[in-house]
Structure 1
Amino acid sequence: MAKGLWAALALVLASLTQGAHGQGGDDRILAARDAVRSGDRATLERLAAEREPHVLDPYVRYWRLVNILGRPEAPPVNELNEFLLREADSVLAERLRSDWLRRMAREYDWSGFLKVYPDLREPDAELRCLQRNARLELGDLTVLDEVRTRWMELADSHTACEPVFRTLAQAGHLGSDDLWWRARRQIDSRSPSNARTTLSWMNAADAPALADFDRMLKSPAAWLDRLPPNFAVSRAGRELALAALVRIAREDASSAYARFARFEERLGADERAYVYAVLGHHGSLQGAPGAVRWFRAAGKTPMSAEQRAWRVRAELRVEDWRGVQAAIEGMTTAEQAQPEWTYWLGRAHAAQSRPAEAAALYGRIATLPNFYGMLAAEELGSPFAPPVRNGNVTTEDTARVDADPGLRRALALYRLEMRTEGMREWNWSLRGQDDGFLIAAARLALRNEIYDRAINTAERTDPQANYDLRFLTPYRQLIEPQVRQQGLDMAWVYGLMRQESRFIAPARSSSGAQGLMQVMPATGKWVARKIGLSGYHQGMLTDPDTNVLLGTSYMRLILEDLDEHPVLASAGYNAGPGRARKWRDERPLEGAIYAETIPFDETRDYVKKVMANAVIYAAMLEAKPQSLKARLGTISPRLATER
């Protein structure tokens, strides 16, 4: 299509959209949303019967159909199919199809399920499990072979997979080793009671009494203290003892080791190695001094991906580079290719006087604009400087974006403060799009001050371009005076704020953190008292000025409390200053090692991203290369009183 025609089409659509967005049309959409939330069926039916040329009209019909699917009467198959056809390849069609499939699964309509399922674009874990159930229920036994082949990777599957797993076990396709492997994984988790179901699938000769399992889980220490002399005679007896050790190790690995030492010799070599892997993993998370020794005692026993990662981190913490190399080389090929392990393997080679091997590894990731890519590039002598090129956006690209129905719906949803629905529409519209479309969409989001979508959309494009979109600096007139007053580094503040909220002023986390700087209510109250902010109340957190005042003041307070070190302060901002202090070592520690060995997954990822963000912002704000290694610096030892 000619560019001029695209532009004309975009103008026509824009004018139609403008006309359809009158207050009356918006009122109908909002009223329908409120009706479905409150269960007001009559109002929802009435509003759905009305038709207005509003860009969000499909939502009213979608809400009505979802409401019907949740009721006991038979679903309106013709209406459902008509909607799916009319709104084909939309996020609403995907969601309605998912809801319909779940209804059919509840009613055991497996034949209908398998007719609808193939049109689902992105099935979630539950629906993938239900599809296997449907095939099995209709006599397709090939599903058993598929699941058996993938047994190891399905260990953490949705509970909807359990009927297929049960059938697989009862048909004899899973041995006791397979089931004990799954039970061990479940016992070493936040939901250990899930192992009870797995144990129920075992042959009676192999399984422990479920009542014994329940008693062990309720009080693992007491269970171990009362172990009968002949507990090791049976597999079930030994496994329950191992399970009790695991539950204790999750709280106190050193205590678990002390108990393990009492009967270690009564276990088989593989069982001892398993316990040592568990002790090494949880000991590393807890900073236990025996963690490295325990991991080494585990030898080459099979480990989970998380255990393999913490085996490397344990060696890093003591800076045993030979041990780091061995632990990384014990990972899977895919794991070794990840930037963090590529970098640390390079460091291990460099520390052992193998510069060529190190340089080759650094070269694999040095162009990545992330924490480890930057560190690798510095090892090769290139501190970070952002590329200046930006992707080209043509008139045709802009017209395609302006005419995209999903993005038009997204903008309308954001305007009505329906952010979750808007984000779904936006992300759905980006699937499979080229860089020209993505960059134009990012600029559309920026024009509408939807900063998170601008950043996230730009991040889907060439990683060496579009830094102006990926690292925005909105609210600068509000932020800069506070940064100067607090004596903070502007790049660090922007780097932290980008990670916290993506510059969405009304952002609210599941834990209650609010605003641009995601200030927790209790933190806001404490900081307001510290800085003498009179008249403060929790509602003020939604005000961008107050939020930034409290957030930057908190950054200054914890920076002063944590050695003026931005790595410690970033960790403290996310997880609390007490934890940031506790995670230090008894000796000085390289900042990158401290960051990589933070025991909280969220905080570890957060600190690395905040520090990488700060380097990029500094390079852009100061227009000169920046060193991430210099920012990471060295972390001072824990004080004797903190040990």
Structure 2
Amino acid sequence: MSIDAKGIALSLFLVLAAAPALSESNAEKAVAQREKLREARLAISRGDTVELNRLKRELQGYPLLPYLDYWAIVRKIDSLPYTEIDRFLGEHQDTAIGDWLRVRVLRELGSRKRFRAYLKYYKPEKITRTSLRCYYADAVARHGDRDEAYRLVEELWMVGRSQAEECDPVFARWIKDGGLTPELAWGRHLLAVESGNLDLARYIAGKMPPEQAQLARLLREVHRHPAQLTNYTHFIDKRPEYRQIVLHGLERLAREDAAVADSAWQRYEASYLFADAERDQLLRELALQFARQDDIDGLRRFFERTEEFTDARTIGWLARQSMRELDWAQVEFWIDRLPPEEQLLDVWLYWKARSLEEQYGKGRADEAVQLYRQAAEERSYYGFLSADILGQNYKFIDRPAPVTPDLVAEMAARPGMLRARELQAIGELYHARREWDYATEGMEHRELLTAGKVASAWGWYHKSIRSVLAADYLDDLELRFPLAFADIVTDVSNRMAQKTALDPYLIYAVARQESHFAHDAKSGAGALGLMQLLPSTARATARKAGVEYRRSWDLLTPKTNIALGSFYLRTLLNRFDNNRILAAAAYNAGPTRVAGWLKETGKKLPYDVWIETIPYHETRKYVQNVLAYSVIYAYRSGSVKPLLRDNEATSKL
């Protein structure tokens, strides 16, 4: 972590509106302590130990005092001050910051090949990074039990990707000492081919004896050209490698032509003894590929021949394909093939009832009503849909977590919690999250609920949400669906909601779905903040919205992010005729893609079928959650809102 003046200024900027509030009596003291912390960090950057020690004395009792020692040691880690390191680790055993320093020390020692010292600091139960585990295996191989080292090397070896370069030296020594057996070489070669990493596979094959290398070459050829499996006599062989080649090739062939792969599978099934797991995996792939290739006749024959095959994911996919065709008899057929426990889920209760209504009208109305009633007991998208059909109130099931104020106070006073809170307050959000995660790791049910209450009181909403989810307690709606940044949301919705379906409940729902209200959230695609906006989208939106926006990290400010996200959401509502279904889908998958889906369906599908058959699973769940969360946020705000507006409920998409 950089501790230069520019970095400090940026960290302080990121305190933002989400920083936890202190009582008025403690606010002045906190401001003074944070200023002294800032001065101490600058002293570290200058190497001014006299000033640093003076400030440390004045900061006695401050939760982040240990961080000054940590930052000071890290700054001179290249000189490996062992005395200071040992003292720090001794004083901060089993703390987040102690473990972080240990990792920094191990990286430094490993890169310098100082392996005797490495063994002193390495603790297997605390280290998960592959590079550090490889350094450890190398250290043990050199200065400890070589058999133990090579057992670890075997674990590190058996992956289908290239490992960190830190593994190369110990791998080379292990191979030189005869550790690479034909079984291990074949196993990793197979994993690499299955992962599509053919360069790695060829590298491994180069270390095989000639006969095995020939089999490895055959596997790679089948990977590239699986149709050669139809030459059955060429692949009937008792060696186990052939069975694995056939299985991998059949999965690849199924993606090209499911019917040909299925025919080949029947021949090979009669010739090889496949494990149940191998068989199930291949059948799953065959069923999905039949469906994707629209080979309905082949699919029927497949299921007639494999009546015992009841993979829920595959059958669910087939049921949705039937919905897309409005083939309600097939929808019922597939739902009835699901495992019994799956049929009791709200999603399939709803769709079984829908299929009965569409096929039989009043003929099986009583059965459909009973299914709707079961689904309507759930606080969910399908539960709300079912309740609307029945004309009954939604079931919110709102039960506060059974946590006392004394438990909350005790939890908030724990050292790790105090450090997390103060780190958040000064804008050190990465370290704050890690302190929190470390403090809550391994907590029992009641402790997690208590931690959720603490996080909520501090305005750390994403942690309160995740704590109750980790505790598997889903009925405390105050914790699961906080009215976060309420002043900002209300102001924005009042200014932007004219003539659109944009209301505070929709804004809450999108932010809840996008980030769990983590104002500093960053996605792998580069989206930022509460409503997860791409900087490019933010720039274009800011010009139209008249919102000040200069650089991407402005999106980490809740006020800016909510204003831009809400305005963008409003543009999507305008584009899609004020239909929140389509606007939510476009917010997640992009408006161009949604327009393409509407073109494909010809606007002939009922709204619920269109949602259920959205091609992307992520977008389907996104739309369902946003609609359901909007209802819950209305309830949390003391209002009653339907799942769907009239224009949405009557739309064909």
State the partner residue of 1:456. 466
**Contact 2:194-2:248 at 8 Å conserved across structures:** no
2:91 equivalent to 1:86: yes
Letter in 2 for 1:269: Y
Letter in 2 for 1:90: T
Q: Which residue among 313, 316, 319 is the counterpart of 1:315? A: 319
Secondary structure of the corresponding residue to residue 492 of structure 1: helix
Quote the Cα distance in structure 1 between the aligned partners of 2:180 and 2:84.
Answer: 41
2:196 equivalent to 1:182: no
Q: Which residue among 530, 535, 540 is the counterpart of 1:521? A: 535
1:314 CA displacement: 3.4
**Contact 1:279-1:295 at 8 Å conserved across structures:** no
**Contact 1:385-1:619 at 8 Å conserved across structures:** no
Farther-moved stretch of structure 1 (312-321 vs 421-430):
312-321
1:301 CA displacement: 13
2:274 equivalent to 1:269: no
Secondary structure of the corresponding residue to residue 18 of structure 1: helix
Identity %: 23
**Contact 1:183-1:195 at 8 Å conserved across structures:** yes
2:103 equivalent to 1:95: no
Partner deviation per Cα, 1:130-159 (whole Å, 9 max, x = no partner): 8788889835579969989x99xx866893
Quote the Cα distance in structure 1 between the aligned partners of 2:184 and 2:82.
Answer: 40
Partner deviation per Cα, 1:61-99 (whole Å, 9 max, x = no partner): 324444565x4x6x5555434323311222112333344
Distance 1:327 1:556, change over 3 A: farther
2:577 equivalent to 1:573: no
State the partner residue of 2:35. 23
1:495 CA displacement: 0.3
State the partner residue of 2:625. 609
Letter in 1 for 2:66: P
TM-score, with length taken from structure 1: 0.67
Secondary structure of the corresponding residue to residue 319 of structure 2: helix
**Contact 1:401-1:441 at 8 Å conserved across structures:** yes
Secondary structure of the corresponding residue to residue 51 of structure 1: helix
State the partner residue of 1:332. none
Quote the Cα distance in structure 2 between the aligned partners of 1:291 and 1:199.
Answer: 41
Quote the Cα distance in structure 2 between the aligned partners of 1:207 and 1:45.
Answer: 66
1:333-348 equivalences under 5 Å are: 342-344=345-347, 346=349
1:576 CA displacement: 0.5
1:589-604 equivalences under 5 Å are: 589=605, 595=611, 598-600=614-616, 602-604=618-620
TM-score, with length taken from structure 2: 0.67
Structure 2 residue runs without a partner (length 5+): 1-21, 273-277, 324-329, 357-363
Quote the Cα distance in structure 2 between the aligned partners of 1:229 and 1:438.
Answer: 56
Partner deviation per Cα, 1:530-588 (whole Å, 9 max, x = no partner): x4749876567566555444322322332343464433322210120222344466475
Distance 1:359 1:532, change over 3 A: closer
Distance 1:391 1:244, change over 3 A: closer
Secondary structure of the corresponding residue to residue 472 of structure 1: coil
**Contact 1:596-1:604 at 8 Å conserved across structures:** yes
Distance 1:95 1:595, change over 3 A: farther
1:600 CA displacement: 4.4
State the partner residue of 1:55. 63
Distance 1:170 1:447, change over 3 A: closer
Quote the Cα distance in structure 2 between the aligned partners of 1:89 and 1:416.
Answer: 24
**Contact 1:29-1:56 at 8 Å conserved across structures:** no
**Contact 1:186-1:194 at 8 Å conserved across structures:** no
Distance 1:552 1:22, change over 3 A: closer
1:576-587 equivalences under 5 Å are: 576-583=590-597, 586=601
Structure 1 residue runs without a partner (length 5+): 1-9, 330-335, 638-643
1:608 CA displacement: 3.8
Give the total of aligned pairs: 585
1:423 CA displacement: 1.4
Secondary structure of the corresponding residue to residue 56 of structure 2: coil
1:407-422 equivalences under 5 Å are: 407-422=417-432
Quote the Cα distance in structure 2 between the aligned partners of 1:302 and 1:489.
Answer: 49
Distance 1:634 1:379, change over 3 A: closer
1:97-496 equivalences under 5 Å are: 97-100=102-105, 107=113, 109=115, 113=119, 116-120=122-126, 123=128, 138-140=145-147, 159=163, 170-171=180-181, 182-187=191-196, 193-196=199-202, 204-208=210-214, 233=234, 256-257=256-257, 269=268, 278=285, 281=288, 288-290=293-295, 293=298, 297=302, 309-310=313-314, 312-319=316-323, 320-321=330-331, 324-325=334-335, 328-329=338-339, 342-344=345-347, 346=349, 384-391=394-401, 394-433=404-443, 441-442=451-452, 444-460=454-470, 463-473=473-483, 474=486, 475-485=488-498, 486-496=500-510
**Contact 1:281-1:295 at 8 Å conserved across structures:** no
Distance 1:61 1:601, change over 3 A: farther
1:276 CA displacement: 8.0
Quote the Cα distance in structure 2 between the aligned partners of 1:295 and 1:64.
Answer: 69
Farther-moved stretch of structure 1 (287-296 vs 542-551):
287-296
Quote the Cα distance in structure 1 between the aligned partners of 2:520 and 2:96.
Answer: 24
Quote the Cα distance in structure 1 between the aligned partners of 2:72 and 2:392.
Answer: 58
Quote the Cα distance in structure 2 between the aligned partners of 1:231 and 1:108.
Answer: 56
Partner deviation per Cα, 1:78-133 (whole Å, 9 max, x = no partner): 5434323311222112333344455666649499659842552x846777788788
Quote the Cα distance in structure 2 between the aligned partners of 1:173 and 1:61.
Answer: 49
Distance 1:341 1:168, change over 3 A: farther
Letter in 1 for 2:425: R
Distance 1:519 1:171, change over 3 A: closer
State the partner residue of 1:5. none
Secondary structure of the corresponding residue to residue 205 of structure 1: helix
Quote the Cα distance in structure 2 between the aligned partners of 1:510 and 1:399.
Answer: 36
Secondary structure of the corresponding residue to residue 497 of structure 2: helix
Quote the Cα distance in structure 2 between the aligned partners of 1:591 and 1:171.
Answer: 58
Secondary structure of the corresponding residue to residue 99 of structure 2: helix
Larger radius of gyration between Structure 1 and Structure 2: 2
Farther-moved stretch of structure 1 (469-478 vs 586-595):
586-595
**Contact 1:276-1:297 at 8 Å conserved across structures:** no
**Contact 1:208-1:237 at 8 Å conserved across structures:** no
1:525-564 equivalences under 5 Å are: 525-528=539-542, 531=544, 533=546, 544=558, 547-562=561-576, 564=578
Quote the Cα distance in structure 2 between the aligned partners of 1:127 and 1:379.
Answer: 58
Quote the Cα distance in structure 2 between the aligned partners of 1:24 and 1:445.
Answer: 26
Quote the Cα distance in structure 2 between the aligned partners of 1:240 and 1:132.
Answer: 32
Letter in 1 for 2:35: Q
Letter in 2 for 1:23: E
Distance 1:83 1:116, change over 3 A: same
Quote the Cα distance in structure 1 between the aligned partners of 2:467 and 2:229.
Answer: 61
Quote the Cα distance in structure 1 between the aligned partners of 2:208 and 2:36.
Answer: 62
**Contact 1:186-1:195 at 8 Å conserved across structures:** no
Quote the Cα distance in structure 1 between the aligned partners of 2:32 and 2:348.
Answer: 58
2:511 equivalent to 1:497: yes
**Contact 2:347-2:382 at 8 Å conserved across structures:** no
**Contact 2:189-2:201 at 8 Å conserved across structures:** no
Partner deviation per Cα, 1:333-367 (whole Å, 9 max, x = no partner): xxx97x8994455567766889999989997x987
Quote the Cα distance in structure 2 between the aligned partners of 1:45 and 1:488.
Answer: 58
Letter in 1 for 2:320: L
Quote the Cα distance in structure 1 between the aligned partners of 2:439 and 2:537.
Answer: 38
1:481 CA displacement: 0.7
